[in-house]
Amino acid sequence: MSSLLDKIDHLGIAVKSVSEGYRVFPLAFGLKPHKFEEVPEQKVKVAFYKVGDSNLEFLEPTSEESPIAKFIAKRGEGIHHICFKVNDIYQALENLKNDGYRLIDEKPKIGAENKLVAFLHPKDANGVLIELSQSQG
Ligand code: ZN
């Protein structure tokens, strides 16, 4: 059986600010954000940096209630999640559930770039918060 994972789509990095002028390491490598986006559903502002075929997503909380705000309060800035691109997110979630994995999102929701996204519980993924993402259309 082939893997449901297509590739690593992006790394999510929690930061206090994504505004220009805020010191983030991609700038030191000559990378500039190619896009900014606000995702109200997840209470974040996102800056996208393209690295080859993948992305870095810098995530800034827009509310104290944002999971990113809670993450930074507890652990400081840093890597927040790894996102895998999948071709069939519904099938992937069903397989995980049938295998006993805990899902944060039982059903996909709309994430940045209008993609379908769902998170898997880090307790069942070696401490790593994993996001699955599928492009629409
Ligand atoms: Zn993400």
pLDDT in tens, 7-30: 999 999 999 999 988 899 998 899
Cα of 61 vs centre of ligand 1, distance in Å, is 13
pLDDT in tens, 80-129: 999 999 999 999 999 999 999 999 999 999 888 889 999 999 999 999 99
Cα of 2 vs centre of ligand 1, distance in Å, is 24
pLDDT at residue 40 above 80? yes
**131 and 82 in contact (C-beta within 8 Å)?**
yes
pLDDT at residue 1 above 60? no
* Residue 26 CB coordination number (10 Å): 16
Cα of 57 vs centre of ligand 1, distance in Å, is 7
Every domain of the chain and the residues it spans: 2-134
Question: What is the C-alpha to C-alpha distance for residues 29 and 103, in angstroms, rounded to an integer?
Answer: 36
What's residue 134's pLDDT?
Answer: 96
Cα of 85 vs centre of ligand 1, distance in Å, is 10
pLDDT at residue 2 above 80? no
Q: What is the value of pTM for the model shown?
A: 0.90
Question: What is the C-alpha to C-alpha distance for residues 39 and 45, in angstroms, rounded to an integer?
Answer: 6
What's residue 20's pLDDT?
Answer: 80
pLDDT at residue 137 above 90? no
Structural element, H or E, at residue 9: strand 5-14
pLDDT at residue 35 above 90? yes
Cα of 65 vs centre of ligand 1, distance in Å, is 18
Cα of 59 vs centre of ligand 1, distance in Å, is 9
Any long-range contacts for 101-106 (C-beta under 8 Å, 24+ apart)? Answer: 101/125
Mean pLDDT on 32-61: 93
Cα of 98 vs centre of ligand 1, distance in Å, is 24
Task: Tell me the residues surrounding ligand 1 (ion) with CB < 5 Å.
Answer: 12, 83, 131
Cα of 12 vs centre of ligand 1, distance in Å, is 5
* CATH class name, domain 2-134: alpha beta
pLDDT at residue 54 above 60? yes
Tell me how many degrees the CA angle 6-11-17 measures, rounded to the nearest 5.
Answer: 150
